[in-house]
Structure 1
Amino acid sequence: MVSIEPATAPARVSDTHAFYRAAWRWHFYAGLYVIPFFAILALTGMVMLWIAFLGGRDGERIPVVPQQAVLAVSVQADAAIAAVHDGMLVQYIAPRAADRVAVFRVDVDDAATMVAVDPYTARVVQTWPRRSGWYDLADNIHAELLLGVTGDRMLEIAASLGMVLIATGLYMWWPRGGGWRRALVPSLRGGRSAWKSLHGSIGLWLSVVLVFFLLSGLSWSGVWGEKLVQAWSQFPTEKWDSVPLSDKTHASMNHGPKEVPWALEQTPMPASGSTAGTPAAAAAPDIDSIDTLARQIGFDGRYQMNLPRGADGVWTLSRDSMNNDSLSPMADRTTHIDRFTGNILADVHFADYSLAGRAMAVGVALHMGMLGLWSVLANTLVCLCVLALCLTSVVMWWKRRAGSGLRLAAPPLPRDMPLWQGAVVVGLAVSLAFPMAGLTLLAILALDTFVIQRLVPLKRVLS
């Protein structure tokens, strides 16, 4: 929410005016970094929303003709394995409905192939490389800009600075005499003030929703999410009484994009090979008996089955809204079964998550628009509003810098900043809450103080 006040500051200004100009300056600098990333996130987010809703992400919406009886999962699996030379079965995804295919993941070395099979005839309907569609390209851009860890950190900085944008924008646009109607309803009478009014009103309406989206996105990030929030909120393995644990966490089940529920990612996986757990399936269960067990204990409709890996690996049954298995995050469930005894070693439901875990299960489903058409439409509106904020901010800057030549035309720094100690405290609070934003703000402050303000040519270009 960039203002369009005049570019020159008086020698002395009121306290309120000084704070306004300081907020405007930080808003401007944060926006320089944030705008391109927010535009990318909004565009890729809309692409993912509609691809997932209309066509599905992993072929689960491919239709078949229902017949009298479904073949055993093992028969379907044999057909899938035969379609991939020297392949090893890794995962089974049950059909979403009676007229949809079953999907199997078959790996050869490091290459994963998805195989869609007609559950009534075991006919292979289609095969494709895993994570190779348009949805996956948009997802990879949305998550890490196709740059791996570097992209993750860049987006985390953008999301963290987005909190600075919201705070400073709200301070600048908060009604101080014109009333709430003027703040909430844009005035489109033309000129720069119309763009400012439109930008401010959209930002005010969107602020709470945008905070939610930023926080739910940040919770997946590598620093704020994994190191600070998630590390203190994962599912406690103490709830699995006397169950042996492997040296792998649930995150090892991720392959590229996040697939494991946020609350479980850093929790160790159970290990097969003991007498622990609750008797459930026959000893040394096969894929058919595990599927039968899944149906008996409540995994109806679409669910995912991951086969054991390694000597002490477990069978894992899962259903969560993040992976589009169901429309309700409160139906999330993950069950681990000993590959030797058939005992249930762990059975984690939504109610077992910590408060933060439950909030993230719901938050991720809302963030990804996985709760049905209404959430797809609502998220599309949010994405369009974010793009509108980006566009109007650029237009306002362009109109304000008219006649500035090559100058950036940044908002001027107030000459007299009252109560600067309060600003320092706010800055420290932001730095502690969002480390990447804090480091970036400190870097910008140091650059502004020790470089830009001392080099007159550079100061003129960037001011």
Structure 2
Amino acid sequence: MTITDTAPAEAADPGRAAKLYRAAWRWHFYAGLFVIPFFLILAVTGMMMLWIAHLDGRDGERIPVVPQGEPASLTLQAAVAIAAVPGGEPVQYIAPRAPDLAAIFRIDGAEGPRTVVVDPYRAEVITDFPRRSGWYDWADDVHGSLLLGVAGDRMIETAASLGIMLLATGLYLWWPRGQGLRAALVPNLTARGRALWKSLHGVTGVWISVVLLFFLISGLSWAGVWGGRMVQAWSTFPAAKWDAVPLSDVTHASMNTGPKEVPWALEQTPMPASGSRAGTPGVAPGTRVTIDTVDALARRIGFDGRYQLNLPRGETGVWTLTRDSMSTDSLNPTDDRTVHVDQHTGRILADVGYADYSIAGKAMAVGIALHMGTLGLWSVLANTAFCLAVIFLCVSAIVLWWKRRPSGQSRLVAPPMPRNMPLWKGAIVTGLAIGIAFPMAGITFAAVLALDGLVLSRIPALRHAFS
């Protein structure tokens, strides 16, 4: 919920409830002022990614081929893909989802990583293009960082953090007071003008409130500060569960290139290292460890259809087999699985699935699949409806503000802060708790207080504009 309309009749009462209402309205207004542009961007780019992924795929995965007998060996397919990028290094193979779809190879060349699409039956290159260069990836970059890198990530995280406060104050403002629950859940379609917009805005906010909170929390879990440095840090899959195999000095996050590709629970866990006799039987002893024999192992241990095979890099690198719903390998997040294979011995160094994740890791595996709409058409349609509702909330908030502001005014016309605010100590404690739980929100609170006390209070023209 975002910037609301005028307070109800109780706001005219100078009592405690009315003062609390006006204070919540003021915070709701200013939070919405910052959040609305970001929510619009997130909703529009979110819908773009939903439908592009569903209709066309993200990396050439939907390019059709005509099955002709048995596919060529992966060694030959990889050689053809490498030849398409002179001087290139093979990094990843993505198995086709179905027999009539192309195989995908990632080849890193002098000009950066490229996606090479190969007909697995004819061992011929169909097309190639810079990796992560499509419309899906552009929308993903905007959605995650506004194309501004770390600065954009922090801005998105701030908006999501303030969005939680926006949601809480919005529910408080719209909660029925002597009007019955129906008034909060059913719009008053007999109203006209500003009253109709207010009813539609409030009811929409109530209906999507739980889903909006879920999207904010799941999105924040990917953010750099709250997710990467707080929540993810204490819920990382413990490297000790690799059963005493040698560990590399790089983490699973090293397999990310641009967008997130590695399951959330594993990102900060060190990779196992090749070069010992550790592990359990994998590729048959005496058999050469190649992309074909590792693929055969993958099929034997349950990697059906589409999965991703990351090739070893360096002497201690490992073959890594992955399948997760976040990468659209499967429709079921509980099927997530990551297996590491020693490049020299072919032994399995680690095999971790959804059941091995922490509670937070399991929640994120399911949460991200719901967030991204990768559970099938029903989730695409549900997420689309949610995005449209968020867009409506933002637009209706702007309409409500425009209808409320006196014509000819050159100021924001923000709701006034009541004098002698009751329970102000509790408000400070609540603000500190939110600031500690969500650091970017805390930084924003501090910045707003500093701006108000050091700048706006000393410059009458600015104070008037923001009042």
- Indicate the TM-score class for this superposition, using the shorter chain for normalisation: over 0.9
Aligned pairs (5 A) from 1:108-257: 108-109=109-110, 111-188=112-189, 189-257=191-259
Separation of aligned partners in 1, 2:376 and 2:170 = 32
CA contact (8 A) 2:310 2:320 kept: yes
CA RMSD in angstroms comes to 1.7
TM-score by length of 1: 0.97
Separation of aligned partners in 1, 2:315 and 2:138 = 34
Q: Which amino acid aligns with 2:411?
A: R
CA contact (8 A) 1:12 1:416 kept: no
The alpha-carbon distance between structure 1 residues 42 and 316, as it changes in their structure 2 partners (threshold 3 A), is same
Tell me what 2:394 maps to. Answer: 390
Separation of aligned partners in 2, 1:377 and 1:3 = 28
Q: Which amino acid aligns with 1:394?
A: I
Say if 2:335 is the partner of 1:331.
yes
The alpha-carbon distance between structure 1 residues 322 and 394, as it changes in their structure 2 partners (threshold 3 A), is same
1:305 alignment partner, one of 301, 309, 318 = 309
Deviation at 1:12, TM superposition (A): 7.5
Tell me what 1:76 maps to. Answer: 77
Separation of aligned partners in 1, 2:77 and 2:209 = 49
Separation of aligned partners in 2, 1:295 and 1:244 = 25
The alpha-carbon distance between structure 1 residues 110 and 317, as it changes in their structure 2 partners (threshold 3 A), is farther
The alpha-carbon distance between structure 1 residues 20 and 10, as it changes in their structure 2 partners (threshold 3 A), is closer
Say if 2:321 is the partner of 1:320.
no
The alpha-carbon distance between structure 1 residues 38 and 99, as it changes in their structure 2 partners (threshold 3 A), is same
2:417 alignment partner, one of 413, 420, 424 = 413
Tell me what 1:17 maps to. Answer: 18
Separation of aligned partners in 1, 2:3 and 2:142 = 27
Aligned pairs (5 A) from 1:334-373: 334-373=338-377
Say if 2:430 is the partner of 1:426.
yes
Deviation at 1:234, TM superposition (A): 0.9
Tell me what 1:271 maps to. Answer: 273
| Alignment: residue pair count | 463
What is the percentage of aligned positions where both structures have the same residue?
65
Deviation at 1:458, TM superposition (A): 2.0
CA contact (8 A) 2:87 2:110 kept: no
CA contact (8 A) 2:280 2:348 kept: yes
Deviation at 1:416, TM superposition (A): 2.1
Separation of aligned partners in 2, 1:6 and 1:324 = 46
Runs of 4+ in 1 over 6 A off after TM superposition: 9-12
CA contact (8 A) 2:145 2:156 kept: yes
Residue 263 of structure 1 aligns to a residue in which SS?
helix
Separation of aligned partners in 1, 2:71 and 2:11 = 79
Tell me what 1:57 maps to. Answer: 58
Q: How far does the alpha carbon of each residue in 1:28-74 deviate from its partner, in whole angstroms, 9 at most, with x for none?
A: 11111100000000000000000000000000110111222122111
Q: How far does the alpha carbon of each residue in 1:396-432 deviate from its partner, in whole angstroms, 9 at most, with x for none?
A: 1111113251011011011121111111121111111
Separation of aligned partners in 2, 1:67 and 1:221 = 46
Q: Which amino acid aligns with 1:211?
A: L
Separation of aligned partners in 1, 2:81 and 2:257 = 20
CA contact (8 A) 2:7 2:22 kept: no
The alpha-carbon distance between structure 1 residues 413 and 453, as it changes in their structure 2 partners (threshold 3 A), is farther
Tell me what 1:46 maps to. Answer: 47
CA contact (8 A) 1:61 1:101 kept: yes
Unpaired runs of at least 5, structure 2: none
Separation of aligned partners in 2, 1:210 and 1:129 = 35
Separation of aligned partners in 1, 2:294 and 2:211 = 41
1:436 alignment partner, one of 440, 446, 464 = 440
CA contact (8 A) 2:11 2:19 kept: no
Deviation at 1:176, TM superposition (A): 1.2
CA contact (8 A) 1:234 1:265 kept: yes
Aligned pairs (5 A) from 1:84-99: 84-99=85-100
Q: How far does the alpha carbon of each residue in 1:288-310 deviate from its partner, in whole angstroms, 9 at most, with x for none?
A: 00000000000000000000011
Q: Which amino acid aligns with 2:271?
A: M
Residue 181 of structure 2 aligns to a residue in which SS?
helix
Q: Which amino acid aligns with 1:22?
A: A
Deviation at 1:11, TM superposition (A): 9.8
The alpha-carbon distance between structure 1 residues 10 and 81, as it changes in their structure 2 partners (threshold 3 A), is closer
Q: Which amino acid aligns with 2:94?
A: I
Separation of aligned partners in 1, 2:237 and 2:49 = 28
Separation of aligned partners in 2, 1:369 and 1:110 = 33
